[in-house]
């Protein structure tokens, strides 16, 4: 502030400058509209959300009508006129309503595509016209849409994150091998008492009310079920536990018709799943030289998995560190979509933990804030990586897409051509391209960062 200026004069000058900028912007918009065959104005209607109000000028509408009627004259057949010689007035009388409906459907989309390409902001998603009207020879409509937030990248150089240590204990490898051996277990006869999971060979007799009788031999019965054949036998699991071969169990049962009675079960054989012994011979059956080589293989696989998990954590920590320095509003539509995805992922995770029904709903409600925060973080991360990719001019070539097709083909054991057709046929190539682009932006961010191993702190 100059010595001679009062605070009131400074404020007055600031207001005048702001008004001049608004007036200049308005004049620029008016000038641009004069050069177009449509008039468009924009208004802010929410966080990162605008509404375009558009009027297509009479000249553009007349051009579209003329073009449509010319094409129609060449293709339709009207009695009394040669092909291509049907007067427009006849076409208007016969097809006018349909022509106007077609233009009302197609023209707004064409204009919105033009506006999207010229705007100094980037719309999100597809633009859908609304409130379409014909009035005074012109076509008017509106369109509300979200836009990508505008923000400046913070300093990316020298961000420090710690990469977790990777260690695989012998017990982890042993558990992996035990799990594999358990999956190859076979039923073998045993002589001790019945245990959970055993399969029994039994003779059974049922005596019910009146003349209700049934019997059968060599039945295969699970030791941990409450059914024998088509009979409901509540408490069978507890009654059979610990019983030996030739023991007889008498228990209340209900036949398929609902008749009550007594089931007499004689245990003839007890079969139990027995896993193979974990030794060199078994390792060779799994195509390894010996057990030591097999353990080393599973150890290296586990190290690889943990390394990948550690890298993912580094990526996440880096993105969090940058996003903490970003403060901008997010489009509601993006928050809603990301929230739905995050909620669905959480739902599947809770289902995997055994939650269902009311318990599941309560758990989802408890995690509501966490789900929302995770959704917003995912959005900011995507916008951040997109911004980095744009500023660093990161593009994905056709050769890179082809390499990705080859990788997917190798992973799935399918032909490259089949993978290409799958992606292109389902419109997934653009999504794949964007995924590669953002991964390269993530790699750029990691190059700029200082990544410290937890073991070397």
- 136-170 pLDDT per residue, tens: 778 999 999 999 998 999 999 989 999 998 899 99
The pLDDT of residue 25 is above 60: no
What pLDDT does residue 457 have? Answer: 65
The pLDDT of residue 30 is above 80: no
What pLDDT does residue 108 have? Answer: 93
Average pLDDT (381-404) is 94
Average pLDDT (96-120) is 88
Pairing verdict, β 123-124 and 138-147: antiparallel
Q: What is the DSSP letter of 329?
A: -
CATH of domain 282-456: 1.10.3120.10
The pLDDT of residue 276 is above 80: yes
The pLDDT of residue 240 is above 80: yes
The pLDDT of residue 212 is above 50: yes
Q: Across all residues in the chain, what is the average pLDDT?
A: 87
What pLDDT does residue 3 have? Answer: 46
What pLDDT does residue 253 have? Answer: 94
What pLDDT does residue 382 have? Answer: 92
Average pLDDT (377-387) is 93
Task: Label residue 354 by pLDDT band (50, 70, 90).
Answer: confident
* CA–CA separation, 362 and 350 (whole Å): 11
Three-state secondary structure call for residue 302: helix
With a CB cutoff of 8 Å and minimum separation 6, the contacts of 78 are 86, 90, 91, 94
The pLDDT of residue 26 is above 50: no
Record the tokens describing residue 258, joined without a space.
Answer: 């609902």
Average pLDDT (307-321) is 94
Task: Label residue 9 by pLDDT band (50, 70, 90).
Answer: very low
% the chain with pLDDT above 70: 92
What pLDDT does residue 100 have? Answer: 87
The pLDDT of residue 113 is above 70: yes
Average pLDDT (253-268) is 93
Phi, psi torsion values for 264, nearest 5 degrees: -110, 115
What pLDDT does residue 27 have? Answer: 45
Task: Label residue 32 by pLDDT band (50, 70, 90).
Answer: low
141 versus 126: which is more confidently predicted? Answer: 141
Average pLDDT (47-76) is 89
The pLDDT of residue 22 is above 50: no
With a CB cutoff of 8 Å and minimum separation 6, the contacts of 101 are none
The domain locations on the chain are: 1-29, 36-147, 186-274, 282-456
Average pLDDT (339-365) is 87
* CA–CA separation, 142 and 316 (whole Å): 40
Protein fold of 186-274: Chitinase A; domain 3 (3.10.50)
* CA–CA separation, 409 and 407 (whole Å): 5
The pLDDT of residue 258 is above 60: yes
- 73-86 pLDDT per residue, tens: 888 888 878 777 78
Task: Kindly provide the b/e burial profile for residues 118-141, where b requires at least 16 CB atoms within 10 angstroms of the residue's own CB.
Answer: eeeeebbeebebeeeeeeeebbbb
What pLDDT does residue 138 have? Answer: 85
Average pLDDT (353-359) is 85
* CA–CA separation, 90 and 355 (whole Å): 69
- Which superfamily, per CATH, for 36-147? Trigger factor ribosome-binding domain (3.30.70.1050)
The pLDDT of residue 38 is above 80: yes
What pLDDT does residue 37 have? Answer: 84
Q: What is the largest CA-CA distance in the chain?
A: 118
What pLDDT does residue 406 have? Answer: 95
The pLDDT of residue 126 is above 70: yes
Q: What is the DSSP letter of 149?
A: P
């Amino acid at each position: 502030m100059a010595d001679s200026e009062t605070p009131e004069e400074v404020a007055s000058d600031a207001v005048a400058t702001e008004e001049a900028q608004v007036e200049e912007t308005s004049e620029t918009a008016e000038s641009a509209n004069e050069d177009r065959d449509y008039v468009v104005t924009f208004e802010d209607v929410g966080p990162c959300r605008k509404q375009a109000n558009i009027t297509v000028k009479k000249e553009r509408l007349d051009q579209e009508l003329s073009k449509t009627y010319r094409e129609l004259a060449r293709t339709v057949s009207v009695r009394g006129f040669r092909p291509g010689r049907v007067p427009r007035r006849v076409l208007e009388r016969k097809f006018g309503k349909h022509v106007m409906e077609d233009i009302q459907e197609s023209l707004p989309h064409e204009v919105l595509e033009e506006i999207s390409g010229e705007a100094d902001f980037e719309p999100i998603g597809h633009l859908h016209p609304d409130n379409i009207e014909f009035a005074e020879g012109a076509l008017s409509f509106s369109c509300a849409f979200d836009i990508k937030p505008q923000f400046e990248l913070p300093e990316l150089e020298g961000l420090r994150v710690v990469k977790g240590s990777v260690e695989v204990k012998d017990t982890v490898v042993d558990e992996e091998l035990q799990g594999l051996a358990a999956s190859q277990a076979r039923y073998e006869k045993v002589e001790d008492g019945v245990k959970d999971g055993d399969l029994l060979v039994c003779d059974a007799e049922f005596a019910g009310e009146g003349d209700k009788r049934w019997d059968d031999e060599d039945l295969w019965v699970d030791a941990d079920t409450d059914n024998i054949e088509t009979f409901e036998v509540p408490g069978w699991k507890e009654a059979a536990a610990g019983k030996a071969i030739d023991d007889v169990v008498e228990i209340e049962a209900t036949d398929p018709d609902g008749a009550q009675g007594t089931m007499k079960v004689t245990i003839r054989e007890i079969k139990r799943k027995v896993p193979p012994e974990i030794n060199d011979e078994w390792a060779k059956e799994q195509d390894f030289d010996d057990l030591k080589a097999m353990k080393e293989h599973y150890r290296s696989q586990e190290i690889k998995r943990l390394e990948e998990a550690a890298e993912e954590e580094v990526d996440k920590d880096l993105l969090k560190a940058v996003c903490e320095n970003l403060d901008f509003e997010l489009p509601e539509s993006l928050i809603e979509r990301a929230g739905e995805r995050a909620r669905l992922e959480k739902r599947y995770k809770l289902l995997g933990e055994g939650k269902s029904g009311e318990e599941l709903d309560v758990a989802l409600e408890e995690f509501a804030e966490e789900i929302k925060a995770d959704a917003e973080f995912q959005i900011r991360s995507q916008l951040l990586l997109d911004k980095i990719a744009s500023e660093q001019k990161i593009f994905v070539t056709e050769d890179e897409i082809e390499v990705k097709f080859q990788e997917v083909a190798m992973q799935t054991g399918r032909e490259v051509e089949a993978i290409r057709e799958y992606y292109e046929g389902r419109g997934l190539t653009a999504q794949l391209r964007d995924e590669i682009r953002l991964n390269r932006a993530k790699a750029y961010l990691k190059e700029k960062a200082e990544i410290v191993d937890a073991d070397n702190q």
